[in-house]
Amino acid sequence: MPVTIKRVLLALLLLCQLPIATAQQQIERPKIGLALSGGGARGAAHVGILKALEALRVPIDYIAGTSMGAIIGGLYASGMSPETIEQHLTSMDWENLFDDNLSRTKHNMRGKINAQLPLVNAKLGVKEREISLPTAMIQGQKFSLELKRLTLGVSEITDFARLPIPFSAVATEIATGNPIILSKGDLALAIQASMTIPGVFAGVEIENRLLVDGGVSNNLPIDVVREMGADIVIAVDISTPLYHQDELTTALTIVEQLTTLLTRRNTETQIAALSDRDILIVPALDDIESADFKQTGEAIRIGQVAAEAIKPALSRLALGGQAYHNYRENRRIEPTTPIVEFIHIENQSELRDELLSSRLSIHSGAPLDLKALEQSIDDIYGLDIFESVRYRLVEEAGKTGLLIKAKEKRWGTDFLQFGLNFSVNPRLGDSHFNASSAYTIKPLNDLTSESSTS
């Protein structure tokens, strides 16, 4: 056989082997997992980390997150870019999100009258002739709707392994203290459960288990993301540092210290399990407190700086330009607006189902109108009967529909309010001191009638 023909055949053989070699390289590439810790507002640093990883073309194959890490990780896993996440975080009215009180327009006439009285917003429930307190200061109604809005594009995906990047959130079962790995179900609800600070936010019930913040049991879920299949773990620890002894001067700082002790211990246990192949990033967030959401932008910047500071280590995990492009394309997802083919209401109260239905301004057979849905839910929540009104997309017989679940207040729908008012008139030299109270009984029947004495 002439030499020229041999060379041609050899070249063709090599060309045929290229796709196989490329495929083998992709299979042999170590799978990279991202473990994102909790830490409140400090968690915005995770966004900066993600921006740096993308700039370096580091692929992420699995994500596990706790608390704020679950929010950032869940949104990124659902296909949202770091830049879009940043836009959402910096534009959110966090103070309003953590306030269950609705605008005055959502209250009935009696509620508007009581709003004019010098009464504090806190309400003492009355149930079976006994005063009963809520399980938390905040029920998280507005925050729940915000999470649903952010995850609407993937709301029909109930197996988080099918997200653009497989994802798990970590919560804690309050009855046992055990960590609960959430990898299926309602993504927004899983994220909310993961960051439900006990006593501050009401626990989230999933599969008959009451769940709270995952930081109590596993604040930096390195073991979780490794169990998901990661060969190499990039762990980001933004947890709150302990107070020094001279800073423990109030009851609040003592309580915060106790909570931080729990998270630091399990975080350090996780860090101790890192191997030489893994990477730990600890952004320098010393001046940013866990509740300081006004410094979100600064936390993002600090996170990006922290990742860029270890560029040589991260670059070893980087892909080439075309390979990273392919990685991104394979994880692209096109958000869709679902057609609501039916609407079910799960009414856990004595009110008529028809009463709740009458407050819905959405209809079956049409694309989901998110704004109208949220307004409808506010109208139902404004009845002041329910501790939460939530929705989720469900499938029945191949059809997509909407399930609205209205859960009556466990501490009683009747309530007491108290207030004090003190005024001084310097011109007349007199002062006035008024004490006020109101007792509201509701509902008197299945049509929301109520009685109030003030």
Whether the CA torsion 67, 69, 72, 73 is positive or negative: it is negative
Q: Which of 300, 330, 360 is the last residue of a domain?
A: 330
Check residue 256 and give its pLDDT.
76
Given a contact cutoff of 8 angstroms between Cβ atoms, the answer to whether 46 and 72 are in contact is yes
Three-class secondary structure of residue 418 per DSSP:
strand
DSSP 3-state of 21:
helix
Q: Checking DSSP bridges between strand 167-173 and strand 179-182, what pairing results, if any?
A: antiparallel
- In this structure, what CATH number is given to the domain that contains residue 224? 3.40.1090.10
**Confidence grade of residue 24 (pLDDT, cut at 50, 70, 90):** very low
For residues 127 and 163, membership in a common domain is answered with no
Which token pair is 205?
Answer: 């019930």
- Domain annotation covers residue 395: yes
As a whole-number percent, the residues of the chain with pLDDT over 90 amount to 59
- Express each pLDDT in 282-327 by its tens digit: 999 988 988 899 999 999 999 999 999 999 999 999 999 999 999 9
Strand partners for 184: 159
Contact (Cβ atoms closer than 8 angstroms) between residue 164 and residue 61: no
Q: Which of 51, 131, 93, 104 is nearest to 301 (CA)?
A: 51
Q: Are 325 and 221 in the same domain?
A: yes
Shared domain check, 279 and 237: yes
Question: Looking at the predicted structure, is the pLDDT value of residue 71 above 90?
Answer: yes
Residue at 11 is within a domain: no
Confirm if 73 and 329 have CB atoms less than 8 A apart: no
379 is a domain residue:
yes
Kindly state the average pLDDT of the residues 93-103. Answer: 86
pLDDT value of position 22: 43
- Higher-confidence residue of 433 and 262: namely 262
Regarding whether 167 and 314 lie in a shared domain, the answer is yes
Mean pLDDT along residues 427-433: 63
Confirm whether 128 is domain-assigned. yes
270 and 145, same domain (yes or no): yes
Is residue 214 over pLDDT 90? yes
Whether 373 and 394 share a structural domain: yes
pLDDT score, position 199: 84
Mean pLDDT for the stretch of residues 182-211: 94
Domain assignment present for residue 22? The answer is no
Contact 92/196 with Cβ under 8 angstroms?
no
User: At 125, which CATH number?
Assistant: 3.10.20.310
Domain that holds residue 411: 103-136+337-453
Per-residue pLDDT, 108: 60
Q: Is the pLDDT of residue 6 over 90?
A: no
> 235 and 347: one domain?
no
Tokens of 231: 């060969």
**Total tally of structural domains belonging to the chain:** 2
How crowded is residue 205: how many other Cβ atoms within 10 Å of its Cβ? 13
The token duo for 56 is 């370096």
pLDDT at position 20: 42
Residue after which a domain boundary falls, among 277, 306, 330: 330
Name the token pair of 131.
Answer: 């005063």
> Are both 94 and 114 inside the same structural domain?
no
pLDDT tens by residue, 365-380: 999 999 999 999 999 9
Do residues 239 and 256 share a domain?
yes
Are residue 149 and residue 120 in the same domain, yes or no?
A: no
Q: Check whether residue 193 and residue 308 sit in a common domain.
A: yes
State the Cα–Cα distance between residues 258 and 245, nearest whole angstrom. 13
- Asked if residue 209 and residue 67 are part of one domain, the reply reads yes
- 299-308, 333-342, 348-357: segment of lowest average pLDDT: 333-342
The tokens describing 452, both together, are 């109030």
Sequence letter at residue 192: Q
Look at residues 282, 305, 330 and tell me which one is the last residue of a structural domain: 330
Residue 183 within a domain: yes
Asked if residue 350 lies in contact with residue 446, where contact means CB atoms within 8 angstroms, the answer is yes
- Assess if residue 301 is contained within a domain: yes
Q: Is residue 130 part of a domain?
A: yes
Which of these, 299, 301, 25, 71, lies nearest to 169 by C-alpha position? 71
Residue-wise pLDDT for 174-187, tens only, equals 999 999 999 999 99
